[in-house]
Structure 1
């Protein structure tokens, strides 16, 4: 019983001799020491904005019996996904090893697929499907109206420090970019389960890491260059990152300053809300803060509190020493 299958053919409709079918492997392919270079658009000298057409052709299985070799050559054209891998041993022996943009290193077989190229294509498709959601999220993160009072207060504090110590504007901008993008949002974008009660599957983690790196890259001031060694996020978003960077400068300029009174009022409101809505354990939080920060850097923290005039006036350093002593006694008795 014979079957008719449909194969895809890419046709260049503006070739030098009229319409030309673009094959991955033909008589004009570059061959060297048993290696066959798969044809590219550059090989056919196809120019930008050329007219192309994806044609469909019926293939009758009866031709396999009439001319098996011809079908093997035809199948190389029809299979556009497994081109970098020989279809079988006979075809591999007949045509030799194949390579695409870079030659196969000596002693390495080309039968192993380059999964990086396959995954990159899938990432591009996923990015296109999620582009609207990604753009909306990034736009909301740089909306001055939606920025919380504590973050605005912190950025304003950086401005005051820069003005007090005569910090150059470029350095001050780097401070803001680093703190807001890297310290505030990058951890939450990369691991949303830190803030939300959600389960992040293992295969979603790398995708969230790419979005995190793109957001951080949007806040950098270095030139955005792409080459074949660039990480996936630069390849996926190399056209989007310049667009993301444009509103960053105006974003910090448009931030409304926050007074000390507004800041502490907001913190009190947040604290009261936590008490009423959550079962918050002060003892557990204190132990975590002590183990993560105070226990490791107690000497530096105490010295800084003694040097800061506001902290020195209310004797924060001595109060912290009492807390440290109490924590050490508690850990000893436990």
Structure 2
């Protein structure tokens, strides 16, 4: 008995439902009334071809099957396919039908095919990332109503996860690294020192240093940190979430209309809330106790001890020195000799000694 299958979203799988006494495959038969028996297949004489050579697989709606219909599995006749038991089993083992909407499906039904034809689809002409036809241009606008409904339902499914994620990364607590507080205070002090009164400038500094540089990269590329596979479909979905987070950190108000991208319209109602979360995050960090230079140095020293042996600091130091210090050595020495605090610490002389040591020269000659 089949229940709840009157929808056009129910796809027919016409092979590998089971095996009869001879070991070969069975297929679906719709039994309607006393003498009404009809074999259901993905493709048969009733399949309607479309333009440009496309063919849509048969659905239960195509056959007019209603809810609570009586279905049965009947053996596939040998003379129809001229296949022996071994060949039939081999063919059925090669069936690779997909159960998701719009995904490519195999041709193991009543129509024989040695490989999946690119011009056959279920509901929409969508090429899955694992499909042999993934090089074909996607026609996502084949049925806009279906995609709109799917988009809204998907958004509703992931909404709580997106909200929880934003709340987690935009809530300062005891796990917040001291470097974040120290850096944000540095930006505030730099704005006061240079007379920058526009709060949007400081907000842009902070956004580009942490949320947009780190979190957006993590959202778009979870495989950088986690051992997960990111297929093109997931990648496009993550890009929408990353773009939403970028818009939340933006200081520009975007006016949306009917011609705006669907990904921006999707979270348009949530954007004021997300923007408020970002600004509240910065304000909460500003209200935290200050992190002194000594506290920052102690924290960095603790990190160095915690990861001792995991990183080879010598090559990293040499790369930093040769790619930056050596290139701008003259300008660095000049600045260290002019700055009063650097002069009091004799930083120019110390850097000169380091340069002599790296070049293999005695420091007494420097």
The TM-score normalised by the length of structure 1 is: 0.54
Instruction: Give the match for residue 165 of structure 1.
Output: 194
Distance 1:113 1:158 in 2: 46
Distance 2:331 2:229 in 1: 37
Pairs within 5 Å for 1:220-231: 220-227=250-257, 229-231=259-261
Matched, 1:127 2:158: no
Higher helix share: 1
Distance 1:119 1:320 in 2: 62
Instruction: Give the match for residue 264 of structure 1.
Output: 297
Distance 1:218 1:292 in 2: 36
In structure 2, runs of 5+ residues without a counterpart are 9-59, 66-101, 103-136, 361-366
User: Is the CA contact 1:120–1:232 (under 8 Å) kept in the aligned structure 2?
Assistant: no
Q: SS in structure 1 opposite 2:307?
A: helix
The TM-score normalised by the length of structure 2 is: 0.50
User: Is the CA contact 1:150–1:263 (under 8 Å) kept in the aligned structure 2?
Assistant: yes
User: Is the CA contact 2:223–2:230 (under 8 Å) kept in the aligned structure 1?
Assistant: no
Matched, 1:285 2:316: yes
Deviation (angstroms), 1:225: 2.5
User: Is the CA contact 2:6–2:61 (under 8 Å) kept in the aligned structure 1?
Assistant: yes
The number of residues matched between the two structures is 229
CA gap of 1:319–1:249, structure 2 versus 1, over 3 A, is same
Deviation (angstroms), 1:315: 4.5
Map Cα deviations across residues 164-209 of structure 1 (whole Å, 9 max, x no partner).
1111132223322332322342223333344x25344242433333
Distance 2:258 2:305 in 1: 53
Q: SS in structure 2 opposite 1:167?
A: coil
Instruction: Give the match for residue 137 of structure 1.
Output: 165
User: Is the CA contact 1:6–1:59 (under 8 Å) kept in the aligned structure 2?
Assistant: no
Distance 1:189 1:301 in 2: 37
Distance 2:356 2:170 in 1: 43
Deviation (angstroms), 1:159: 0.7
User: Is the CA contact 1:218–1:241 (under 8 Å) kept in the aligned structure 2?
Assistant: yes
User: Is the CA contact 1:186–1:215 (under 8 Å) kept in the aligned structure 2?
Assistant: yes
Distance 2:216 2:64 in 1: 56
Instruction: Give the match for residue 206 of structure 1.
Output: 236
1:179 aligned residue (209, 214, 219): 209
Mark the structure with the bigger radius of gyration: 2
Q: SS in structure 2 opposite 1:246?
A: helix
Distance 2:322 2:223 in 1: 22
CA gap of 1:211–1:286, structure 2 versus 1, over 3 A, is farther
Higher strand share: 1
Deviation (angstroms), 1:327: 6.9
1:254 aligned residue (280, 284, 288): 284
Deviation (angstroms), 1:266: 1.1
Deviation (angstroms), 1:282: 1.1
Distance 1:165 1:326 in 2: 38
Matched, 1:241 2:248: no
In structure 1, runs of 5+ residues without a counterpart are 9-55, 62-80, 82-111, 330-334
